[in-house]
Structure 1
């Protein structure tokens, strides 16, 4: 898809209406906290599954879906969702589960505490709010800022061959944001921990998108990492085909041509705003673009820094 301007780019990703009546049926915890949204086709499949189980793991009404009363804690919620998704994967009910990653995401409840965890590929089916890190890796050519841009592997299960932020990844359960930054820098771009540790938190980008797999409200913690002149990213784990070292004008042209994974284009636009390449004086849609980069998502979010430490 070719875009006429940046506003079209951000609207393409942040595409879900603010009208809750058009989003689907809320998925909630026993205290009424809404943690996700199910589209009608998912509700239909869930009813069919629920009718085969004794006792039924879910309570399904015309207004919401929640766990049944015998499912009362994190372990039990996690097990019920895992059993459901494993069965749907086996029966090939939804294409989303063909991208199974054996990677667990936390689903946050009241107080920002995980209520349960679930397989990453399954999160769009329940419209779960997910969290990741995106690192803008850049350098300088004299006084000119240039960005390292990744080309996604042609064998990636999602968005193969499109352009991407240099380093990006979801935050696995038990990992902190900074630990994820260091892990992903090593795995995707061979950037050593001694350098990755200097990545600077610059805020977050949030959006609510819909794909063929379902609903996906997402928040990306954004980091900037300036590489020294004697260091450059190198593909390592097979997820990246190659890296380009581009001027911000080249980045802009590639975004408008539709060459980027949609959410990653938002992170690159955010970088160009923060570094003065996109301003209120040269971008007529500046305010509307900002609204789409910082969507209010009415789901619980993580509140506490995790204590578990991982080796990169």
Structure 2
């Protein structure tokens, strides 16, 4: 779907209402909070609440407290990490077996952390199967990489991924060069380094040079459920001639595009919505979009950093390994085992292995 403005591009991703309208029949206006007192850790649609009530009533000891029109929470006896994690696992396993919600057909066997009390050193309240998170409007966290080059004239060109046409979600759409969810007990940097290798064949020694450049936040919804997300943004300048190459079937091909081409495709609606936000953020940080050239500049800034109501991770160093500043990039590129491409074309593509 083409857009007239970049503001519309952002609104397409950040479309959960900022204020609820009780007269609006759309059920997104009638969610109730998933509480871990005093925190809200998610939001639940009425259609999910109805099935949760059925499940709760079928248990000899109901694991949830449900007050219709008010809130959902764990029962008083579900009061630690292991118990909360097990209760959510049992529920989602049952719903998956019974095919209660279509979203669970995309089961990933990935555990995502859910955060609670920010005064705790590690405020992970429980973990949940990634596919089930939208049913409870649980905040998810990812890491996205902008891989770019500086041409001989100093201009920036961006490596853009096209998603595999066999993917369950957003097949064939444009995407950031590398992206992935931040799983339990992983840091954002570990996520980027892993995905660089798996999705783009970028070796560890180069991927380690990626620089954390901020985050974008938004709250969207699909037919699968509610998706509040935070995407940690990384930038990585690749040397001219280094070509990301698809490896795991997630990506069909990569293009090396001018930023004018990137902006054109954003307005054409060719990007996966959340990845479009990451790209707009890059264009603003690198002064391609400026306050003097973009009439909605301030609004874009606000919309890229929506304040979400859910707790966030208090500490990223989950593995206990100290973070160190990236070494100089030149040292890493000396041993880079990548496919060199000396072509001066503005686009490059590689065929992916189809799943």
In the superposition, the TM-score normalised over structure 1's length comes to: 0.96
Can you list the C-alpha shifts for 1:210-244, whole angstroms capped at 9, x where unaligned? 11111111000001000112321100111001000
Does the alignment pair 1:201 with 2:207?
Answer: no
1:35 to 30, 33, 41: 41
Can you list the C-alpha shifts for 1:68-97, whole angstroms capped at 9, x where unaligned? 112111111111101111111111111111
Structure with higher Rg: it is 2
Matched residue, 1:130: 140
Equivalent runs, 1:69-148 vs 2, <5 Å: 69-111=76-118, 113-142=123-152, 143-148=154-159
Matched residue, 1:259: 270
- In structure 1, how many angstroms separate the alpha carbons of the residues matched to 2:260 and 2:240? 21
- In structure 2, how many angstroms separate the alpha carbons of the residues matched to 1:3 and 1:229? 32
How far does residue 23 in structure 1 lie from its aligned partner after superposition?
A: 5.4
Equivalent runs, 1:1-312 vs 2, <5 Å: 1-19=1-19, 22=29, 24-29=31-36, 31-62=37-68, 63-111=70-118, 113-142=123-152, 143-304=154-315, 305-307=317-319
- In structure 2, how many angstroms separate the alpha carbons of the residues matched to 1:79 and 1:302? 21
Q: Which runs of 5+ in 2 are unaligned?
A: 22-28, 322-355
Deviating above 2 A after TM superposition, structure 1's stretches of 4 or more consecutive aligned residues are 20-23
How far does residue 307 in structure 1 lie from its aligned partner after superposition?
A: 2.2
SS of the counterpart of 1:65? strand
- In structure 1, how many angstroms separate the alpha carbons of the residues matched to 2:212 and 2:266? 23
SS of the counterpart of 1:301? coil
How far does residue 20 in structure 1 lie from its aligned partner after superposition?
A: 5.2
- In structure 2, how many angstroms separate the alpha carbons of the residues matched to 1:98 and 1:283? 42
Matched residue, 2:26: none
The answer as to whether partners of 1:174 and 1:308 remain within 8 angstroms in 2 is: no
- In structure 2, how many angstroms separate the alpha carbons of the residues matched to 1:76 and 1:27? 16
Q: Which runs of 5+ in 1 are unaligned?
A: none
RMSD, matched Cα: 1.2
The answer as to whether partners of 1:175 and 1:308 remain within 8 angstroms in 2 is: no
How many residue pairs end up in the alignment? 308
How far does residue 308 in structure 1 lie from its aligned partner after superposition?
A: 5.0
- In structure 2, how many angstroms separate the alpha carbons of the residues matched to 1:148 and 1:232? 9
